[in-house]
Structure formats: C-alpha cells, structure tokens
Amino acid sequence: MNSTQIKCFISLGKTLNFTKTAKELFLTQPTVSKNIENLEKEVGVALISRKHRHIQLTSKGQYFFEQIKAIDQELTYTLQKTRTTNMTKKATVTIAFTNIAFEQKFLPIFLKLIKQQGKWDIKLKPNMLTGMNIKKELDSGQVDFALFQSDYFYEEKYSFTPFFKSGFSAIIKKSNPLKKYIKIPISVLHKHQVFLYSPSINLRSLQILEDAINLTYDKKAKPLEVVNKVAVAKILVSTTTNSIAIVPSLIYNPDNPAFYYRFLEWNKSYSYGSAYLIPTKDKPFFADIINTMREAIKIAKSNWK
C-alpha cells in the first residue's frame, strides 16, 4: 500500500468518478484504475462496485474510506506542523533573584512577556540577601543573570546592566516623630537608636553610609547597630518608638501596614539591575532577556505605590 494508492482511493471516494479523480490527481484514468485494483488486492476486499457505469463504495469500502481519510488528514497536519515548527530545543536561561517586594511585582510580568515570545525557557533561582552565593553561581554557569544592586559586582569579570537608581529608606513605627519627614536627614539619626541592615556580603554603598552616619554621632549618642536580616531589623524597630532601621529602598514593601517607610536624605545612590559574566553579552538570548526585563520593570513601576 503506497501513498498514490491512498490518494487515488480517497479522491475516488469523494468523486465516485474515475475521470474526475484522474484530472484531480493529474494522472491517467488507467493509472487510477490500476492503483485501485492493487489497493483492493492488498486490503483483500472489494472497496468499490461498478454497476451500469456508476461507481459506488461497498460497505467495507465506505468504512475503509472514512478511516483512511482521517489518517490521511492527521498525517497531512503532522507533516505541515513538522515543516513549520522550529524543532530546536529552547535554551534555558537561569536568573537569580532575592525575592524582594519589587521583584515579586515585576518578575511575573517578565515571565508572561517572555512566554509570549516563545523563544526561551526561564528558570528563576531564589537567593537569600544574606550569605549569597550569586557570584559563585555566575562563575560556575549555574545562573546566567543575577538581579541585585550594582555595588556588589565590582570585579572586572562581571558586567552590569542598570535598570534604575535607588537609595536607602528608613523603617519607623507609625508613632515615631520622624514620620513628619518626607526624606529623613542623616543629621537627625544620632537622636535615635539606628539599626543598619547590612547583609554578610561586601556592599560598598552600605559601608559608605555607615561611615556617614557615624560621623554625625557624639559621645552621648547610642552607637549604630548593624543587623544582617531585614526581619530582625523590623522586630527591633517595633520594640521602641524612637528606633529606626535603615535598609535599601528596594526592600520597601507598600503592603506592610505596621511601619512607615521614609526615604533617607543622602546624596549617594546605587543602581538596581542585572549582573552577568562578560561573555554572556554574546549569547543569543541576551538582548531578549534584558529588553524584556526593562519592559516588565516599566510596567511594574507604573503600578508601584
């Protein structure tokens, strides 16, 4: 049984006319007849009946026609799909993130946008703000991109694409008199117990900020205390009215009703963005990932309170 025999039979089952089938398939009528005869021999039953020059399908021929037509349609669809579909396996792009509040807003948008492109599979790999292994994972190829702040990736082997600039914010209780400030000056911090959030990694912006705050202190002031977990800083702030926690503004969570967040008035800032090894720029997915992140962040920021 070959494809010509199948095509002849399916066409004849529709036209019930050898001449029309021959024209439809660009074959001679004897060729069509020969193919039908050979098909009947292989199947072992009569598929058509010839009475008074009229062609009809036998009962078994009708059954065979319906089945073979469905198979032929499925085969045609499969062939078309195979020809038009890119069968190359999508590359998996791994992105490290720290699950801060803003990332919880923009990453779902990013995943939706990248899925619409249909070119890359995305794997998100969470990392803790403290004791991070992001650099090690970038170096070993476990992740392709790392979402974080720029001042952590100062070595020459890393490149960094900034998405926006950010600074530092103060977390205070709603009863704290500092709530009157839109931006809290560093010069007033010495009057309060200050807890500076600083993860157990080298962030240059935090080192500079710590030095700047210490310069405002006098002997009577309570010393600045460094904590390496945001949750601990919030607990400490909640214990007294006049305490204050200083954190990167990216940690700001507008959905937390327990505290006020106030920007710190300081002329220093850092960039939030994506770090990656320099050769990653040459990867085929690079532009798509970076540009789609920018688009997702733009959408998320428009809805950010």
Total tally of structural domains belonging to the chain: 3
Task: Output the pLDDT for position 134.
Answer: 83
Question: Of 37, 68, 84, at which residue does a domain stop?
Answer: 84
Low-confidence ranges of the chain (pLDDT < 70): 52, 83-89, 128-132, 200, 218-222, 252-256, 304-305
User: Within this chain, do residues 158 and 286 fall inside the same structural domain, yes or no?
Assistant: yes
Round to whole Å and give the CA distance between 192 and 207. 20
User: Within this chain, do residues 34 and 159 fall inside the same structural domain, yes or no?
Assistant: no
User: Within this chain, do residues 261 and 172 fall inside the same structural domain, yes or no?
Assistant: yes
Task: Output the pLDDT for position 101.
Answer: 80
CA 289, 293, 299, 301: dihedral to nearest 10 degrees?
180
Task: Output the pLDDT for position 292.
Answer: 96
**Per-residue buried b or exposed e for 45-57, using 16+ beta carbons within 10 Å of the residue's own CB:** eebbeeeeeebeb
User: Within this chain, do residues 263 and 173 fall inside the same structural domain, yes or no?
Assistant: yes
Own/partner long-range contacts of 69-77 (Cβ < 8 Å, ≥24 apart):
69/10, 69/13, 72/6, 72/7, 72/10
The DSSP secondary-structure symbol of 176 reads -
Closest CA to 261 of 148, 184, 209, 196: 184
CATH number at residue 249: 3.40.190.10
User: Within this chain, do residues 173 and 264 fall inside the same structural domain, yes or no?
Assistant: yes
User: Within this chain, do residues 132 and 281 fall inside the same structural domain, yes or no?
Assistant: yes
User: Within this chain, do residues 107 and 66 fall inside the same structural domain, yes or no?
Assistant: no
User: Within this chain, do residues 214 and 128 fall inside the same structural domain, yes or no?
Assistant: no
Domain of residue 99, residue span: 91-165+272-302
Task: Output the pLDDT for position 199.
Answer: 74
Task: Output the pLDDT for position 196.
Answer: 86
Task: Output the pLDDT for position 191.
Answer: 79
CB 149 within 8 A of CB 258: no
Q: What is the pLDDT of residues 116-133, one digit of tens each?
A: 988 899 999 988 655 467
Question: Of 84, 106, 139, at which residue does a domain stop?
Answer: 84
